[in-house]
Amino acid sequence: MCGIDAKLGLPLIAVLAVMMAAASAPAEEFALAGDNPQFVATSASSTSFALHGNGRGSPPKKAEGNGGPAKPKKPTPPPEPPPVVEPAPAVKPPPVYEPEPIIEPEPVHETTQVATFEQDEGPGCPFSFDIKYHLLSDYVFRGMNLSEYRGEGREKLNHQMTMDMSFDIAQMFGRPKGQYGTFTFGTFFEWYGAQKSLDPIRGGQNLQEVEYILSWAYDIEPIATTFTLGWTFYAFPNAKTKNTNEWFFSLEHNDAWMWKWLLPDNEKGVLNPSFLFAQDVDATGGGCWMELGVHHDFPLFENFTLTPSVIATIDHRYLNPLLETGSGGATRFAYVQYGLTGTYDLTPVLHLPDWAGCVTVSGFLYFNDALGNPEDNGIIQDEFFGGMSVGWSWGG
């Protein structure tokens, strides 16, 4: 070493010192980090150096420790993602039950019960009864005044009474009302106080006429018409030889359907046209009598109804044989009757219960206008008469 230049000696000595120190230091104090040498602190008390090379000279030696090369560290695996936790289904809250309100009973007030009578609303009563009393100034039948005589002067009042007993055939057998029609038995009595003056020869009693009537009526709903078929027996107590019989039929029509354009809510007839055909089979030898009529009910105020009416009559060989003024005769108009009737219902005034029926009182005026040959021949004449009536009806 004596021959080494002094300038080179000091660096060489420093390199050798470092190499010796490295050989004696633990292997863990050196590590390869790259191409440049770095110093790595291994402890708080000592400092070690690692030679990484500087791009010049030979490559650096691998650090050795414990007699062997250092083992490479295993790469740390990436952390696993956290498991996906599905949200728990929403739990419906339990229903809330509200307590029902407590309803307190209403106070009971003591009342006095009044007994009432009500008619059974089951199948209904099949029977009906009507009775009516008439008081008239004259008894005019089909244009003939049968209660006026020559020199009468002041009018003698004429008393009449009608009674009808009807029963619904279907209701008798538990069927709906009107299904088989209605059967009626009726009577008519006429009593005249001046009968002896009217008929001096045969006027032994004031009961001048009695009629017995059997009829059957049926409502034909499709044409809103009531059809009646009947038989009448006329009895004259003072002149029994004049007793006679006739058969008849009548039609009564509800014409409300014709007036719907004017009265859309009306169900009652407006003109209520009617037709009567009767044929005598004894006294006249088959003479016929016909009537065409109209009437309308006007409810003027509570419980009161005013009814005007017009009837045109046709005589076919009926009046002449009956009055013994000739035989036969042509078919002709006999007269036109104009009537006015006012009816008052007394049932509410009398406070009658339903089961007791109803009571009515009526007043009426009639004028018969004789037409054509019957008037010219003196068979009939113009007649003006009137009267009043009281009626009671029950059932039905």
Question: Domain 127-395 class?
Answer: mainly beta
Averaged pLDDT for residues 41-55: 41
Q: What percent of the chain has pLDDT over 70?
A: 68
pLDDT of residue 298: 95
Q: What confidence tier does 86 reach under pLDDT thresholds 50, 70, 90?
A: low
Question: What amino acid is encoded at 388 in this protein?
Answer: M
- How many Å is the maximal CA-CA distance in the chain? 212
pTM (2 decimals)?
A: 0.67
Question: Other CB atoms closer than 10 Å to residue 280's CB: what's the count?
Answer: 22
Which helix (H) or strand (E) segment holds residue 373: the answer is: helix 372-376
CA distance 311 to 338: 7
Range with lowest mean pLDDT among 22-31, 81-90, 156-165: 22-31
Given this model, what pLDDT does residue 43 score?
A: 41
Task: Give the 3-state DSSP-derived string for 2-67, with helices as H, strands as E and coil as C.
Answer: CCCCHHHHHHHHHHHHHHHHHHHCCHHHCCCCCCCCEEECCCCCCCEEECCCCCCCCCCCCCEECC
Domain locations along the chain = 6-60, 127-395
How far is the C-alpha of 213 from the C-alpha of 189, rounded, in Å? 12
Rounded Cα gap, residues 341 and 134, in angstroms: 13
Judged against a pLDDT cut of 50, whether residue 268 lies above it is answered with yes
Contact in structure between 163 and 133 (CB atoms under 8 Å): no
